[in-house]
Amino acid sequence: MGIPSKLRLFLSPHFRPIPTIVVMAVTALLLTACSEKQAAGPPPPPDVGVSQVEQRDVPVYGEWVARRPHA
């Protein structure tokens, strides 16, 4: 029994797996980067809450840390 021809390639002193893997990875990236992508439309408007405005008197006060409030 001899070594199969496919295995002989990997055992060859001229076979360099790292550059081969790098070339295959770069080729795959270039092929996926060249595919056309559809342009996305504008995002939908955000949901917001709305309140009615009412006019009324409210007390005016102030709180200060480590200071005496003005009279």
Number of domains, the chain:
1
State how far the Cα of 27 lies from the Cα of 19, in Å rounded to an integer: 12
Does residue 48 belong to any structural domain of this protein? no
pLDDT block averages, 10 residues each, the chain of length 71 = 65 68 83 71 91 90 70 60
58 lies in some domain:
no
Please report whether residue 6 resides in a domain.
yes
Which pLDDT does position 54 carry in this prediction? 92
Assess if residue 22 is contained within a domain: yes
- Determine the structural domain holding residue 18 and report its residue range: 1-34
CA–CA–CA angle 29, 7, 13 (5° rounding): 80
- How confident is the model at residue 37, as a pLDDT? 67
**What per-residue confidence (pLDDT) applies to 58?**
87
